[in-house]
Structure 1
Amino acid sequence: MDSAQLETFAAVVREGSFDAAARALSLTPSAVSQRIKALEQAAGQVLVRRAKPCRATEAGEPLLRLAGQLALLEREALDTARGGGGADWTRVPIVVNADSLATWFLPALAALPPGLRLLFDVHQDDQEYTADLLRGGTAMAAVTAQHVPVQGCRVQRLGTMHYVAVASPALRAAWFADGVTEQALAAAPMLVLNRRDQLQHRFLRTVTRRRLDPPVHYVPAVGAFNEAIRLGLGWGMAPERFCGDDLAAGRYEQLTPGRRVSVPLYWQHWRLESAALTALTGAVRAVAATALD
């Protein structure tokens, strides 16, 4: 397949539009459009969903993954041919769940040797959905709750992140004075990261064996989510290993000491013999070994 057409296809999806891809590639929008049409004719399928932003169609997803793999291998081959002195950076798109990104994941990236010249394009999504970006070709590696490997990927167990239900002392006293009962859980305000976040609802089912519908605050950033707990806006699930300071200082109290929700995490990445992926995988596994159970 024409590598220039694949590169252009990847740029359209990455940048979100034909015009933005043209600017990124220093081409005219007409040249971008012609390359995409030629690639679609060769594939016999519509590959780009022309919306805002542009997305790969289901038929385009394997070609998007191929474009990223070829670009990575080409950069590494050129670097090797130059004796390791290449000036090009390698862009590495990764998708990570919010709590891992806010706690243990970034030190893994910082631990990589600067000589690798890696540029990270980090996406965030719920751990139940991060593998979708691998499947769609947008990311080359993911921290995910899915243990079944995506086609063309390898999977390795990282460990388990345990969550506990916490609240401010004031909120606990106001809503749970008579205990953590089904009635109290149904009435007390609850904090949720976003509409894909099901941790709090999983906790409710483990306690009550029922699906409850309490009032919900949506707070879509981990730092703000934790601050909302401290301020008493609602109760929420916090990573057990990373909320010790708040518990010790009395800013948090556990609703049900000894009860937790466990989320196994896995590392999935493209099945490629790539120096960048090998180094990244080693760093992620090393940090996860100390940060997760």
Structure 2
Amino acid sequence: YINFNDSFTGFILLGFSDRPQLELVLFVVLLIFYVFTLLGNTTIIALSYLDPRLHTPMYFFLSNLSFLDMCYTTSIVPQFLFNLSGADKSISFGGCEVQFFISLALGCTECILLGVMAFDRYAAVCRPLHYTVIMHPRLCALMASASWVTGFAISLLQTVLIFLLPLCGRNKLDHFFCEIPPFLKLACVDTTMNVYATFFASIIILLTPVSLIMFSYGRIVRAVLRIKSTTGRRKAFGTCGSHFTVVSLFFGTAIYVYFQPSSSDNQDQEKFMSLFYTVIIPMTNPLIYTLRNRDVKGAMKKVTV
């Protein structure tokens, strides 16, 4: 049950309203970033579909990640751009609930999917002779589906727990989108149980994939160091470097936001870090995966010629 008065029509997303001189700059930069995010990730998906050489588990998961990044950014940026474009900073109650659920679900799914991609890289480098047997299409589809289902299930549970909190008419969210940390500050009751639930969910969705990723890359490094040829080492590290860069950026910022004690002093830092993993990382992912990737460059030349 949500306790709000008759005049309650939604939430006010304060965002960066305390810095009006920054809002115009943010609007222009975010609009550019959003367009490039859509273009870059659409290109990855199209190339992975059109070029038969990219019909491999690595690019199957990368296409999933690109589609996920587009949806994730779209669940946040258009509303943020609308709020930045004028004096109206509001979002309807239903709109906030939907944004909360979808953005959290996609964020959770990305965490799991990045862990699955680390396992794929482990199989490619450490079990090259058995790679096609291990990463067969059915297993890839199953792991991708499990990532999406688990992400949405965790988000549904968190959404129910958060939106059952009584707000007592409070509707000013000190953030640019509907997210867990600012929501807990609105509640007019003790949120200790919600904090514990969020912390436990964060351990599952953040630290478990990170542990799997670190284990996989530990084995990968050991396997690569046994390769005698410099060319072989460079190729092996090249196939994993892009993924590890994305993992470091995404998990680093997400862990910073969800695992440090929340206070008014670091609120602006939390907003900028959230901006980083909701807007900047989805835009840079296609660049990270394509700049040094010969397969993608070859596919792009083939399509454009």
Q: With structure 2 as the length reference, what TM-score do the two structures score? A: 0.23
Q: Which structure's CA Rg is the greater one?
A: 1
Structure 1 or 2: more strand by fraction:
1
